[in-house]
Structure 1
Amino acid sequence: MTVAETSAPLRLHVQSCKEDPSRYCWFIQEREHIVRQSCYSLPDEHEALAQGCQALQEAAAIWRDSH
């Protein structure tokens, strides 16, 4: 599992998909709660990480604006 963090208390996780371990999904957590996740599995970890990082940046900007 790949994990990325920001200055906001958000963490990006990339892991193999439970339904098809050859594909990957990403999700963003704030503490123990998932705040955003991929809508579909992606063909490889690199693509899941790239899309997840973009979503993490967007979520971090929203978090900063709201605090």
Structure 2
Amino acid sequence: MTLADTSAPLRLHVQRCKDDPSRYRWFIQNRGHVLRQSCYSLPDENEALAQGCRALEEAAAIWRDSH
């Protein structure tokens, strides 16, 4: 799953954890480079998406403030 912040060139990705396919991780990218990622895997996709969305909002605010 991928979401984007339209005011910043940031993308949120949620995917299954490579170490444990029953869990999920999120990461935020800017032009293919990972800026932030979850520190640990999460129990389900919805939790990973919720945490990732909060992190995307924070990262987008920082990006907007710096440009």
Q: Which TM-score applies when normalising by structure 1?
A: 0.97
The structural deviation recorded for 1:32 is 1.1
After the TM superposition, list the runs of 4 or more consecutive aligned residues in structure 1 that deviate by more than 6 angstroms.
none
In structure 1, the residue matched to 2:43 is 43
DSSP 3-state at the match of 1:57:
helix
Mark the runs of 5 or more structure 1 residues left unpaired by the alignment.
none
After superposition, give the CA deviation of every residue in 1:2-52 in whole Å (9 maximum; x if it has no partner): 111012000000000000000000000000100000000000000000000
Residue identity opposite 1:22 in structure 2: S
Whether 2:53 is the aligned partner of 1:53: answer: yes
Name 1:31's counterpart in structure 2: 31
Residue 13 of structure 1 is matched in structure 2 by 13
In structure 2, what is the Cα distance between the partners aligned to 1:34 and 1:25? 13
CA RMSD of aligned residues (A): 0.4
Aligned length: 66
* TM-score under structure 2 length normalisation: 0.97
Q: Percent identity?
A: 77
